[in-house]
């Protein structure tokens, strides 16, 4: 009998290295495209802040809007001439700094107590913290406004600082990070006679820089851009932060788009600076809180 088995041609498969290279190139292209998409509005705002007002409007829909020609700092000078920008900036710095620093202390202590200490009602408090994370601020803004009014705190720095120091999301981030730390560190400290507070500040805090940086950046970004609550509780410019100030500046005649872009650049710059300074710890903190717990 004749062997009727038909031999199929062997098609060589692509080498794994080639497929990996194509995948890597595709990932880079996608990442660069997304980066340009997010950077474009910031780049346009920065370039427009250097141009005369008439060019900002005429070049808004073309590629020429991203070319800083002609360039001038006159728009920045106009902002300082038209409004008290320095006061608004100092207000935002004071309010945001106090919320961040006090929040790091209070929320980290609360997270450490929930993660490491054993006390009655701990599980219930943890459930309350998790439940508070899903309640939007808009749902409690009006009751909180009435409380602030009854206390006589309207149009003060305290009204913009105190309600935001304790934050359920920050507590949860600290909790998930502290749960993943090895207990041997604290046990060794206790053997040496260290108290719980001393163990926290001398052992836990130095090795928890990533989560502290993460919480600091997230709190800073949230508080720096807060608009609704400052709009509700501030009356005059003496305690008004930048988000409310730029909204009022937008309605100040005459409307100068170059001045608005300059105002926006000076408002966004501190946020970018803080992120760039702490991005290494921020990335490490996000990675650790996502894998521990």
Residues 46 and 88 in one domain: no
Residues 231 and 133 in one domain: yes
Residues 56 and 91 in one domain: no
Residues 233 and 156 in one domain: yes
Residues 230 and 119 in one domain: yes
Residues 214 and 234 in one domain: yes
Residues 120 and 163 in one domain: yes
Does some domain include residue 142?
yes
Residues 256 and 176 in one domain: yes
Per residue in 18-41, pLDDT (tens digit) is 677 777 788 888 888 888 888 888
User: Residue 90's domain spans which residues?
Assistant: 83-291
Domain of 140: which CATH number? Answer: 1.10.3720.10
Task: Give the count of domains, the chain.
Answer: 2
Kindly give the confidence (pLDDT) of every residue in the chain, 293 residues in length, as a single tens digit, with 9 standing for 90 and above: 455 555 555 555 556 666 777 777 888 888 888 888 888 888 888 888 888 877 777 666 666 667 777 778 888 998 999 999 999 999 999 999 999 999 999 999 999 999 888 888 888 998 999 888 888 888 899 999 999 999 999 999 999 999 999 999 999 999 999 988 888 888 888 888 888 888 889 888 988 888 998 899 899 989 999 999 999 999 888 899 999 999 988 888 887 888 888 999 999 988 888 878 877 766 666 665 544 44
DSSP secondary structure letters along the chain: ----PPPPPPPPPPPHHHHHHHHHHHHHHHHHHHHHHHHHHHHHHHHHTTS-HHHHHHTTTSGGGGS--S--SHHHHHHHHHS-HHHHHHHHHHHHHHHHHHHHHHHHHHHHHHHH---TTHHHHHHHHHHHTTS-HHHHHHHHHHHHHHHT-TTSHHHHHGGGSS-HHHHHHHHHHHHTS-THHHHHHHHTT--HHHHIIIIIGGG-HHHHHHHHHHHHHHHHT--HHHHHH--SGGG--HHHHHHHHHTSSS--HHHHHHHHHHHHHHHHHHHHHHHHHHHHHHHHHHH--
Q: Give the pLDDT score at 54.
A: 72
Residues 122 and 266 in one domain: yes
Residues 71 and 90 in one domain: no
Does some domain include residue 178?
yes
> Which of 75, 91, 118 is where one domain is finished?
75
Does some domain include residue 3?
no
Residues 43 and 140 in one domain: no
Does some domain include residue 209?
yes
Does some domain include residue 4?
no
> Which of 57, 75, 93 is where one domain is finished?
75
Residues 172 and 253 in one domain: yes
> Which of 8, 40, 75 is where one domain is finished?
75
């Amino acid at each position: 009998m004749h062997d009727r088995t038909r031999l199929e041609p062997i098609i060589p498969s692509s080498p794994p290295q080639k497929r990996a290279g194509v995948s890597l190139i595709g990932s880079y292209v996608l990442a660069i495209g997304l980066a340009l998409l997010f950077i474009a509005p910031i780049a346009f705002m920065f370039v427009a802040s250097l141009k005369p007002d008439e060019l900002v409007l005429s070049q808004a829909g073309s590629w020429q809007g991203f070319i800083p020609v002609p360039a001038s700092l006159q728009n920045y000078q106009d902002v300082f001439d038209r409004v008290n920008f320095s006061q608004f900036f100092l207000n935002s710095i004071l309010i945001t700094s106090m919320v961040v620093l006090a929040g790091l202390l209070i929320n980290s202590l609360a997270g450490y107590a929930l993660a490491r200490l054993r006390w009655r009602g701990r599980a219930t408090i943890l459930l309350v913290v998790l439940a508070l994370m899903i309640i939007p601020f808009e749902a409690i803004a009006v009751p909180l406004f009435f409380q602030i009014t009854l206390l006589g705190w309207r149009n003060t720095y305290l009204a913009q600082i105190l309600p935001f120091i304790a934050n359920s999301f920050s507590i949860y981030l600290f909790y998930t990070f502290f749960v993943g730390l090895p207990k041997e560190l604290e046990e060794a400290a206790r053997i040496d006679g260290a108290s719980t507070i001393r163990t926290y500040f001398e052992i836990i805090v130095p090795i928890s820089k990533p989560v502290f940086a993460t919480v600091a950046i997230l709190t800073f970004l949230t508080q720096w851009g807060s608009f609704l609550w400052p709009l509700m509780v501030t009356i005059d410019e003496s305690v008004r932060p930048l988000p409310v100030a730029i909204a009022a500046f937008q309605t100040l005649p005459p409307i100068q788009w170059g001045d608005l872009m300059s105002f926006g650049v000076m408002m966004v710059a501190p946020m970018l600076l803080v992120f760039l300074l702490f991005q290494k710890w921020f990335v490490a903190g996000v990675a650790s809180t996502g894998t521990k717990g």
